[in-house]
Every structure is written in structure tokens, then in C-alpha cells.
Amino acid sequence: MIFLHDFGIGIEEYEKKGKKNNFPLFKWCPNCQAIAYGNLHRHGYYWRYGINQEEELHIPICRFRCLVCQVTISILPSFLIPYFQHTLDTMMERLSSVLKGEKVKGSRQQLEQHLKRFYESIHWTHSFFTDAGYQLGFTKDIKKEAQKYVTMIQDFGESTSFFRRSWGHLSSYFMGKLILPYLPPKKNTIHPT
């Protein structure tokens, strides 16, 4: 399962720190709630790419494994969207540019896929903001709606706060297709420092 974690830093600093990042410690298994002590073990890293506006960075993702439920837990930094290489900030900037008709560098095909996914998930995004107390209509002009929500997401607070706040809404997440497994309460983690 994926556990979203705010490291409080951007991808560039995360890459520099590599395996020395301040990874969270759990009090209990986020999947089965078994007490972490003696049950939840560090399970190495896998490496993935993260793309910001300038470059492609290679970063480690820390994993845990629970001896009780056998689930592997990956600690995803909250500047990344599951299964996408572009960081959240970069994704939003690219979507914002393409919706304004501006030129965006990189693969056109990939950009169109991202835009398509954003359109597909726009009702989910609308639903999150409505639940959060915003009074919002929804018109038939999908492009206009998309521009509206890109701006709202970018204005929501610090870069990843929309993403973290909306994680788990209707058992899904921003740009996601998958239904998430049980989401742990936020107080589960302890920082070593």
C-alpha cells in the first residue's frame, strides 16, 4: 500500500538526502493496525524517477513490511503523485500552461494523457472542494472547469496541501483511478527527530 508522507521538503532536497531522508516511524501498521514494534520492519528501497521543470531526478522510496498482514508499505513523498513521474507542482504548471494554450516542453502525447486524466478526475476534484465547503457550480464547458480547478488547486495553500488534504476523498486521490486500501489516521507516525 502507499502511505503519503509530507517530508516538508521539495524533490531536489529529497534527492540530495537520498536514503538519509527523515523517514517516518510508525506506531502501528497502517494496513492492519498491528502494533509496529516487532512487526513492522524496514524493507529496503525502490528507486523511481521524479521530474521537475528542469530535470529528471532518481530518488529512493522507503518501504516497510508488516509481518502480521504481509503488506508492503511504500512511503510516498507528498510532492509526487502515485504512478506519475512529474511532481505535483510540475504537473499543475504544465496543465495550467496547456489549458491557456501556451507551449509546454516535453512529450506532447504524454501531456495529452495527463490532461485526459485530469478531465476524467474533475468530478472527483469538484466533489472534494464541495465537501470542503466551497459553493461551486459545474458548467458543461469542461475546459473552463479544468482551468478553474487548476487555479483552485494551485491557490489552495502550500504546494502539496491540496494533495494531502484530498488524499482518500471518496477512497481515491488526485489523478488516481485506484481505490485505496484503508487509510490510517494521521497521528500514526512519529518523527525520529
Please say whether the dihedral angle defined by the alpha carbons of residues 165, 167, 170 and 174, taken in this order, is positive or negative. Answer: positive
102 burial class (0-12, 13-18, 19+ CB within 10 angstroms)?
exposed
Among 2, 11, 62, 66, binds Zn ion (CB under 5 A): 66
Q: Considering only CA atoms, which of 59, 123, 113 is closest in space to residue 87?
A: 59
Least distance (Å) from Zn ion to the CB of residue 162?
A: 29
- Residue 1 binds Zn ion (CB under 5 A): no
Q: How many of the chain's residues bind Zn ion (CB under 5 A)?
A: 7
**Interaction residues for Zn ion, span 26-55 (CB under 5 A):** 29, 31-32, 34
69 interacts with Zn ion by CB under 5 A: yes
The residue among 66 and 99 lying less far from Zn ion, judged by its C-beta, is: 66
| CA pair distance 91, 15, nearest whole angstrom | 18
Among 57, 61, 68, 122, binds Zn ion (CB under 5 A): 68
Amino acid in position 176: G
Instruction: Catalog residues that contact Zn ion under the rule CB under 5 A.
Output: 29, 31-32, 34, 66, 68-69
